[in-house]
Amino acid sequence: MAQSDPRRAVPRTDVLMGHPDLVAAVARHGAATVKEAVRSAQSLARSGEIAPDDVLTAARAMLPSRSTTLRPLLNATGVVVHTNIGRAPLSDAAVDAVVAAAAYLDVEYDTATGARARRGRGTLEALRAAVPAAGDALVVNNGAAALVLATTALAAGREVLVSRGEMVEIGDGFRLPDLIASTGARLREVGTTNRTRLADYADALGPETGCILKVHPSNFRVEGFTSAASVRELATLGAPLVVDIGSGLLHRDDLLPDEPDATTALTDGATIVTASGDKLLGGPQAGLVLGEAATVERLRRHPLARALRVDKLTLAALEATLRGPVPPVTDYLHVDRDRLRARTERLATAVSGEVVAVEGRVGGGGAPGLPLPGWAVALPEECAERLRRGQPGVVARVERGRCLVDLRCVPPARDTDVERAILAVRAVLDVRGVDRPSGD
Ligand SMILES: *Cc1c(COP(=O)(O)O)cnc(C)c1O
């Protein structure tokens, strides 16, 4: 082979891997990822697409910018708890707690005695302090796990009484009846889709009853000729009463009048309340179990509890959410409308968009149909895809042929990032002659 063959000049893998930049990259991304970038860069040089001298630069450019393929996104949809983009964003306090919990820590260890201690006791104390109506608390992996644990421990091999109007699908094809059936309990439906009375439960109650389950139909509403038995009524029947409130509100929120909360359900007589940690509570993915101490203990002792237990990162984030500052989800729900309007107007002016009135949503199976009035910047529909794919990705809402950028769920400090992202997209689209939105 001739000495001038550029392939001969391509730097060797071991030489490249010894370069300080790539040594640092190995510490950050792992050797396999860095080697893959090096090999790709070498093959570009071998095929003559880049000069041999540029292999190092090309390899560096091919390294991922972070160590996960998960891409952070800005939520400009106006949907506060958006399951597809990670439900609840954590507060800074919760993020700090997660980082601290990444190391060794006393998650189930007593530093005074050197003996084993109750796992996540600080988190459970925080939960009990936040909901004094609960005799005890337990945290599992998610809301579905909390429900499965409760029905398994109370009703495996026996019956769970549920209203036909509450046989819900919780999303992505997962249906409540299937979930309960998987626990070995038999589902006994009572009432009809639109009306279920206390007497319907009373008629079905018997020695086979393991528990009564009341599920908040959080992602839909039945309107018109409807009735349902209340928690207070169901509690009079004497069977263990499990109430799945779904969204994780611990106390009533006047903004969400139809959303059940744990404290009210417990004071109304629920034996156990189950809920998600990453919906309206605004914390990490988790399943909360709150209720009567002896029943919570029964759940804790069930063998399944071990398979559903949460990890230390979750315990840390949940404790910080409960004890710390108001989480972003709460801020976004209760956003100051004048301030939101001012931010929206500023953005509209900067990007030559138009301010339009919109309705945000709670989302994540919470308060279906409840509008959250606000504003958005309307852009041509074509902007939406480019915004999503940008850096950072901005997820806007597409509605009636327009791309709507709603700042409700964007941290105010990131408004300028949204602005820059839109300007970059507009610069490309304006060159291509895409129309500005018409003034409607
Ligand atoms: C969301 C929801 C669930 C499931 O909770 P995950 O935390 O998503 O597992 C169960 N029941 C109700 C009523 C819900 O709203």
**Alpha carbon nearest to ligand 1 atom 8, residue:** 143
Segment 71-81 shows an average pLDDT of 96
Q: Please, which pLDDT band fits residue 439 given cuts at 50, 70 and 90?
A: very low
What pLDDT was estimated at residue 153? 97
Say yes or no: 99 and 12 in one domain.
no
User: Which residues have any ligand 1 atom within 6 Å of their CB?
Assistant: 142-144, 147, 170, 215-216, 218, 244, 246-247, 276, 287, 365
Determine the atom of ligand 1 nearest the C-alpha atom of 277: 7
Say yes or no: 264 and 359 in one domain.
no
**Alpha carbon nearest to ligand 1 atom 12, residue:** 246
Determine the atom of ligand 1 nearest the C-alpha atom of 216: 13
Say yes or no: 78 and 200 in one domain.
no
At residue 132, φ and ψ (nearest 5 deg) are: -60, -20
Bridge partners (DSSP) listed for residue 405: 377
Determine the atom of ligand 1 nearest the C-alpha atom of 285: 7
Is the distance from CB of 131 to CB of 290 less than 8 angstroms?
yes
Asked if the structure places residue 68 within a domain, the reply is no
**Alpha carbon nearest to ligand 1 atom 1, residue:** 246
Determine the atom of ligand 1 nearest the C-alpha atom of 276: 7
Residue 368: pLDDT over 90: no
Q: Residue 91 C-alpha to ligand 1 middle, in angstroms?
A: 21
What pLDDT was estimated at residue 434? 56
Q: Residue 216 C-alpha to ligand 1 middle, in angstroms?
A: 9
What pLDDT was estimated at residue 27? 92
What pLDDT was estimated at residue 429? 85
Q: Please, which pLDDT band fits residue 1 given cuts at 50, 70 and 90?
A: very low
Judging by DSSP bridges, how do beta strands 241-246 and 209-215 pair with one another?
parallel
Q: Please, which pLDDT band fits residue 438 given cuts at 50, 70 and 90?
A: very low
Q: Residue 213 C-alpha to ligand 1 middle, in angstroms?
A: 14
Predicted confidence (pLDDT) per residue in 380-414, tens digit: 999 999 999 998 999 999 999 999 999 999 999 99
- Which of 303, 325, 347 is the last residue in one of the domains? 325
Minimal CA–CA distance to 146: which of 187, 183, 188, 98? 183
Say yes or no: 201 and 140 in one domain.
yes
Say yes or no: 120 and 218 in one domain.
yes
Rounded Cα distance between 200 and 124, Å, is: 36
Residue 226: pLDDT over 80: no
Asked if the structure places residue 1 within a domain, the reply is no
H helix runs in 359-414, sequence order? 383-389
The span from the first CA to the last CA of the chain, in angstroms, equals 69
Rounded Cα distance between 54 and 308, Å, is: 51
Beta-carbon contacts of 416 under 8 Å, excluding residues fewer than 6 positions away, are none
State the DSSP code for 395.
E
Q: Please, which pLDDT band fits residue 260 given cuts at 50, 70 and 90?
A: very high
Q: Residue 23 C-alpha to ligand 1 middle, in angstroms?
A: 45
- Which of 325, 341, 360 is the last residue in one of the domains? 325
Residue 156: pLDDT over 90: yes
H helix runs in 3-114, sequence order? 13-17, 20-29, 31-46, 55-62, 92-101
Residue 4: pLDDT over 80: no
Here the CATH number for the domain that contains residue 110 is 3.40.640.10
What pLDDT was estimated at residue 91? 97
Segment 157-165 shows an average pLDDT of 93
Helix (H) or strand (E) holding 322: helix 312-323
Q: Which domain holds residue 210?
A: 91-325
Residue 190: pLDDT over 50: yes
Q: Residue 130 C-alpha to ligand 1 middle, in angstroms?
A: 20
| Percentage of the residues of the chain whose pLDDT score is greater than 70 | 93
Q: How far is CA 290 from CA 87, 124, 152, 203, 433, in A?
A: 22, 10, 16, 28, 58
Q: Please, which pLDDT band fits residue 64 given cuts at 50, 70 and 90?
A: confident
Share the mean pLDDT of the chain.
Answer: 92
Asked if the structure places residue 437 within a domain, the reply is no
Say yes or no: 269 and 172 in one domain.
yes
Q: Please, which pLDDT band fits residue 2 given cuts at 50, 70 and 90?
A: very low
Determine the atom of ligand 1 nearest the C-alpha atom of 364: 1
Q: Residue 151 C-alpha to ligand 1 middle, in angstroms?
A: 14
- Which of 294, 310, 325 is the last residue in one of the domains? 325
Say yes or no: 58 and 133 in one domain.
no
Predicted confidence (pLDDT) per residue in 287-315, tens digit: 999 999 999 999 999 999 999 999 999 99
**Alpha carbon nearest to ligand 1 atom 14, residue:** 246
Is the distance from CB of 164 to CB of 192 less than 8 angstroms?
yes
Q: Residue 168 C-alpha to ligand 1 middle, in angstroms?
A: 10
**Alpha carbon nearest to ligand 1 atom 7, residue:** 143
Here the CATH number for the domain that contains residue 358 is 3.90.1150.180
What pLDDT was estimated at residue 440? 40
SS3 for 260-276 is CCHHHHHHCCCCEEEEE
Q: Residue 275 C-alpha to ligand 1 middle, in angstroms?
A: 7
What pLDDT was estimated at residue 371? 87
Q: In this predicted model, which residue has the larger pLDDT, 150 or 434?
A: 150
Asked if the structure places residue 438 within a domain, the reply is no
Determine the atom of ligand 1 nearest the C-alpha atom of 245: 13
Say yes or no: 317 and 346 in one domain.
no
Rounded Cα distance between 291 and 22, Å, is: 54
| Pocket mutation for ligand 1, best pick of 84, 244, 245, 329 (most atoms within 8 Å of C-beta) | 244
**Alpha carbon nearest to ligand 1 atom 13, residue:** 246
Segment 88-102 shows an average pLDDT of 97
Q: Residue 50 C-alpha to ligand 1 middle, in angstroms?
A: 52
Q: Residue 30 C-alpha to ligand 1 middle, in angstroms?
A: 36
Please list, residue by residue across 239-269, b when 16 or more beta carbons sit within 10 angstroms of its beta carbon and e when fewer do: bbbbbbbbbbbbeebeebeebbbbbbbbebb
Asked if the structure places residue 418 within a domain, the reply is yes
Asked if the structure places residue 109 within a domain, the reply is yes
Is the distance from CB of 135 to CB of 291 less than 8 angstroms?
yes
181: burial class by Cβ within 10 Å (0-12, 13-18, 19+)? Answer: middle
Say yes or no: 174 and 297 in one domain.
yes
Residue 87: pLDDT over 80: yes
Q: Where are the beta strands (DSSP E) in 99-232?
A: 109-110, 115-116, 136-140, 159-163, 169-171, 174-175, 186-190, 209-215
Asked if the structure places residue 67 within a domain, the reply is no
**Alpha carbon nearest to ligand 1 atom 11, residue:** 246
Say yes or no: 159 and 272 in one domain.
yes
Q: Please, which pLDDT band fits residue 189 given cuts at 50, 70 and 90?
A: very high
**Alpha carbon nearest to ligand 1 atom 2, residue:** 246
Place of tokens 């790539």: 22
Of 66-70, 117-121, 136-140, 292-296, the one with minimum mean pLDDT is 66-70
Say yes or no: 307 and 158 in one domain.
yes
Place of tokens 């644990």: 149
Q: Looking at the 3D structure of the chain, how many domains does it have?
A: 3
Beta-carbon contacts of 294 under 8 Å, excluding residues fewer than 6 positions away, are 135
What pLDDT was estimated at residue 219? 63
Using alpha carbons only, how large is the chain's radius of gyration in Å?
27
Say yes or no: 101 and 17 in one domain.
no
Is the distance from CB of 424 to CB of 82 less than 8 angstroms?
no
278: burial class by Cβ within 10 Å (0-12, 13-18, 19+)? Answer: buried
Segment 336-358 shows an average pLDDT of 97
| Pocket mutation for ligand 1, best pick of 276, 281, 329 (most atoms within 8 Å of C-beta) | 276
pTM: 0.90
What pLDDT was estimated at residue 212? 97
Segment 1-11 shows an average pLDDT of 69
288: burial class by Cβ within 10 Å (0-12, 13-18, 19+)? Answer: buried
